[in-house]
Amino acid sequence: MALLIRNGEIVNVGSRLQADILVENETITRIGRNLEASQKTEIIDATGKLVFPGFIDPHVHIYLPFMATFAKDTHESASIAALIGGTTTYIEMCCPNRNDDALQGYELWKSKAAGKSACDYAFHMSVTKFVEETESQLKQIVEDGTPSFKIFLAYKNFFGVDDGEMYQTMELAKRLGVIVTAHCENAELVARLQQKLLSEGKTGPEWHEPSRPESVEAEGTGRFATFLENTGAHGYVVHLSCEKALQVALAAKSRSVNLWIESVLPHFLLDKTYAERPGVEGMKHVMSPPLRAKHNQTALWNGLAKGSIDTVGTDHCPFDKEQKLLGKDSFVTIPNGIPGIEERVNLLYSYGVKCSRIDLDRFVDAASTRAAKLFGLFPQKGTVAVGSDADLVVYDTNFRGTVTVKSQHTNNDYNGFEGMQIEGRPAVVTVRGKVQVRDGQFVGERGRGKLLKREPTHF
Ligand code: URP
Ligand code: ZN
Ligand code: ZN
């Protein structure tokens, strides 16, 4: 059925326009004033509301065997949570570990999502070792429509690669036009500092941050950038958390290294005192890189406002309280991660736009358009334009609410952002022209989402 969204204010990067949007066959076919609709057309009145391109979360974990357990969401639960929060596409980290076969891992991750996700999705393919068959396997994966890699400089002996493997991954990525995303922390230093702290009897969650201090992240970021500089590959730092690492990344950008920066929601809003809370309260806020001293938030917001931080993701990774308690005797075994897929857009709007830290243009860019451009999804995604997929978020800026575990859709028994105020939320969310959400309720079709096939763009 055709869909007409009437009289909203369309917000794209660089433009704002009061107009109607006509959608036919999953695609935006017309944008203009007083568009006519046939009798069968579904009409949504967007008067007084903003209309955004569907938001894109460039960094989530849904299926994730990690730290002796599994992240809690399924594609069904995570995609419904995403959609209620205005995210219509997510890019999941496909994370087979060092002992797994990459191609089998890729197929496994695809099978977990197929027919389950209610929104569209793609993958970043993790390269967790580089052995004889890796090159041909990665070529197959790129040809299958996944032209972005992920490497971990952290998580020694599990996901982590050494410098040689990082070099080989980048050298191949350069040839294939693939972007390499990276978790940047020095694995050796983390391992040594963890052992030192434990030997001093420092076992609680408050010691997680001191075991991976800002300098350890800055070193990883700098090394990643130096390898990009010397291979000519294009790179993207994921979940950059602190001013020290930002300075290193910006210095690399200023000498023309092809580097882009993502920071994730928790690091803008939460600081390390959350992880210093006693017991499981602290453990809920253990993630890597860790929550930092508060002054870093100012650097992140400023970087985001200027566009030197390109995107805001979530690193969505839910573990419940029982799982977090796997680390009750040692911070080293607390499963790392925090959910956020449902809260990202509303909290970024509320604490970014409404608090005048970023403008509306940057908001749309950082939460949708720039990820679409970087990861080969633009202009199919990331813009409200004729010919683009009709992934649309009709946004009610008058809504007022509070984040709470009681109403969340993510499969977890806590919310890391509990009690934060929301000023705005999606009134209607469509995925390729189908209404999936109305006023905080999922009203759509489960399993509607499709795997987005992408082409390499980083030559
Ligand atoms: O703590 C985190 N970030 N957990 C998920 C795995 C990762 O490093 O992205
Ligand atoms: Zn990571
Ligand atoms: Zn991650």
Residue 1: per-residue pLDDT: 86
259-296 residue pLDDT tens:
999 999 999 999 999 999 999 999 999 999 999 999 99
Does ligand 1 come within 6 angstroms of the Cβ of 434?
Answer: no
Give percent of the chain with pLDDT exceeding 70: 100
pLDDT at 159 over 90: yes
* Ligand lying nearest the CA atom of residue 151: 2
Q: How far is Cα 246 from Cα 252, in angstroms, rounded to an integer? A: 10
352-399 residue pLDDT tens:
999 999 999 999 999 999 999 999 999 999 999 999 999 999 999 999
234 HSE (CA, 13 A, CB side): 14
Confidence of residue 18 (pLDDT cuts 50, 70, 90): very high
Other residues' Cβ atoms within 10 Å of the Cβ of residue 114: 14
Does ligand 1 come within 6 angstroms of the Cβ of 60?
Answer: no
Mutate to test the pocket of ligand 1, among 97, 151, 239 (most ligand atoms within 8 A of CB): 239
Can you tell me the mean pLDDT for 11-20? 98
* Ligand lying nearest the CA atom of residue 92: 3
Does ligand 1 come within 6 angstroms of the Cβ of 241?
Answer: no
Cβ–Cβ < 8 Å for 393, 426: yes
Does ligand 1 come within 6 angstroms of the Cβ of 317?
Answer: yes
Contacts of 452 (CB under 8 A, 6+ apart): 89, 120, 121, 122, 145, 377, 380, 381
* Ligand lying nearest the CA atom of residue 64: 1
Ligand 3 centroid to Cα of residue 183, in Å, is 7
Residue 245: per-residue pLDDT: 99
Ligand 2 centroid to Cα of residue 281, in Å, is 21
Name the closest-CA residue to atom 3, ligand 1.
Answer: 288
Residue 63: per-residue pLDDT: 98
Cβ–Cβ < 8 Å for 430, 23: yes
Ligand 3 centroid to Cα of residue 9, in Å, is 34
Mean pLDDT, the chain, rounded, equals: 98
